Amino acid sequence: MESHAPIVGRLAPSPTGAQHVGNARTYLIAWLSARSRGGSVGLRIEDIDSPRIKPGAAAGAIDDLHWLGLDWDGVPLVQTERLSFYEAALVQLQARDLVYPCTCTRTDVERAASAPHPEHEGPIYPGTCAHRRAVDARDLPPGSFAWRMRVGSETIVFEDGFHGPLAMNLHEIGGDFVVWKSAGTPAYQLAVVVDDAAQQVSEVVRGDDLLPSTPRQLLLYRELGLMPPRFVHVPLVIGPDGKRLAKRHGDTRLQALRAAGVSAQALLGLLAWSCGWLDSIRPITLNELRLGFDLATIPRQPFTLTPEVLAEMGYHSP
């Protein structure tokens, strides 16, 4: 039976740097997916990764979204204003001994890893501290440990809105994972689950580099008694060398495009072309895109952004 529950999407920029063309493509797909079906869109500033946060980046991200015309409903949620909610979720997990204090450093885990691992996934945690129980934290100095979620060897099965049915083994993608850092702040996995539930998000559209995060988050949804959203993981934008967009690929920041006189409609046209919604790169409005949105036309492979493609839009990176 088809669900007629309201669709709630979200935009969740992280102010660890300026937003670029790759971010804009994912935001556009997320926004169109919700708006084309009459849904709402929430905004969240994911600013808990304090060592990497850049001053002014949050305001810059909001400016970029305004420039693109990607609006949102309600008041933006800011993670650094919500620590008490994350703490409450951690207490729930502690009460059931689903998490344990871990004194291992990143270097410790790397050294103990017995098998090679994809760079974006990290090594499999060897279980060094898994013998501990939550109450053992009382005997450890404050700030000397993180909290890890026990995962066992369970395989999580889920339906991705872009990739279809998927099955991932929690041990094979990293094992017990950190939900609370030794610095006293929540890890990404816990924070986004608590926030998406609070914003009643029903659809999460994000880059497919985050696919390995999904089984972990689905486990947290289940153990916290929360309703998970539908996940849609779309391919990234990469440079000519096949790697994620970076400074070496030229200046692809949205603020640089604006400063060079590129219109939002011109960038929307490039992004629409990259998603298979246009036959050529030409300016287009959000309203036109909303009427013709189709997730199925997006190519399965990453989109390669070249200087030639940017030039077709009228932008020449310095």
- Domain end: 221, 253, 270, which one? 221
Q: What are phi and psi of 77, to 5 degrees?
A: -95, 130
The answer to whether position 2 is within a domain reads no
Residue with structure tokens 């339906």?
159
Instruction: Report percent pLDDT > 70 for the chain.
Output: 96
Lowest mean pLDDT among 37-46, 121-130, 303-312: 121-130
Residues 74 and 52 in one domain: yes
Pair of tokens at residue 183: 């610095």
108's tokens = 């410790």
Q: Which residue has the higher pLDDT, 316 or 279?
A: 279
In 10 A of CB 143, how many CB atoms? 10
- For residue 304, tell me if it sits in a domain: yes
Identify the three-state secondary structure at position 35. helix
Do residues 44 and 195 make contact, with C-beta atoms less than 8 angstroms apart? yes
pLDDT tens track for 302-314: 999 999 999 999 9
Task: Name the token pair of 133.
Answer: 């129980």
What does pTM read for this prediction? Answer: 0.93
Neighbours of 195 (CB within 10 A): 23
Is residue 1 in a domain? no
> pLDDT tens-digit profile of 261-300?
999 999 999 999 999 999 999 999 999 999 999 999 999 9
Please state the domain count of the chain. Answer: 2
Do the domain assignments include residue 101? Answer: yes
- Domain co-membership, 63 together with 89: no
Pairing of strands 146-149, 8-11: unpaired
Question: What is the chain's alpha carbon radius of gyration, rounded to the nearest angstrom?
Answer: 20
Q: Is residue 317 part of a domain?
A: no
Question: Encoding tokens for residue 132?
Answer: 């501990």
The yes-or-no verdict on residue 163 having pLDDT over 60 is yes
Which residues make beta-bridge pairs with 40? 8
Give yes or no for residue 118 having a pLDDT over 70.
no
Name the token pair of 45.
């500033």
Which of 261, 260, 207, 263 minimizes the C-alpha distance to 231? 207
Of 172, 189, 221, the one marking the end of a domain is 221
Region of poorest pLDDT, from 44-53, 64-73, 220-229, 272-281: 44-53
Q: Is residue 68 domain-shared with residue 108, that is, in the same domain?
A: no
**Residue 267, in any domain of the structure:** yes
β-strands 303-304, 237-238 pairing: parallel
> Cβ contacts of residue 285 below 8 Å, gap of 6+?
265, 268
Is the domain of 51 the same as that of 70? yes
Q: What is the pLDDT of residue 93?
A: 99
Q: Classify residue 67: in a domain, yes or no.
A: yes
> 191 and 118, same structural domain?
yes
- The mean per-residue pLDDT over the stretch 195-211 comes to 97
| pLDDT score of 1 more than 60 | no
- Reading the block at residue 267, the tokens are 């960038």
113 and 192 share one domain: yes
When mean pLDDT is compared across 47-51, 80-84, 285-289, the lowest value belongs to 47-51
Does residue 94 sit in the same domain as residue 150? yes
- DSSP conformational letter for 314: T
Residues 34 and 13 in one domain: yes
How many helices (H) and strands (E) are present in the chain, helices listed first? 10, 12
Q: Which CATH number belongs to the domain containing residue 106 in this structure?
A: 3.40.50.620
Q: How many CB atoms lie within 10 A of CB 20?
A: 23
| Residue 164 belongs to domain spanning | 83-197+211-221
57 and 94 share one domain: no
Same domain, 98 and 173: yes
**What is the reported pLDDT for 121?**
60
Residue 253: both structure tokens together: 């920041």
Q: Enumerate the H helices of the chain as residue ranges.
A: 21-35, 57-68, 83-95, 106-112, 188-198, 213-223, 254-259, 264-274, 286-292, 307-312
pLDDT at 139: 95
Domain presence at residue 99: yes
Residues 216 and 108 in one domain: yes
User: Are both 66 and 89 inside the same structural domain?
Assistant: no
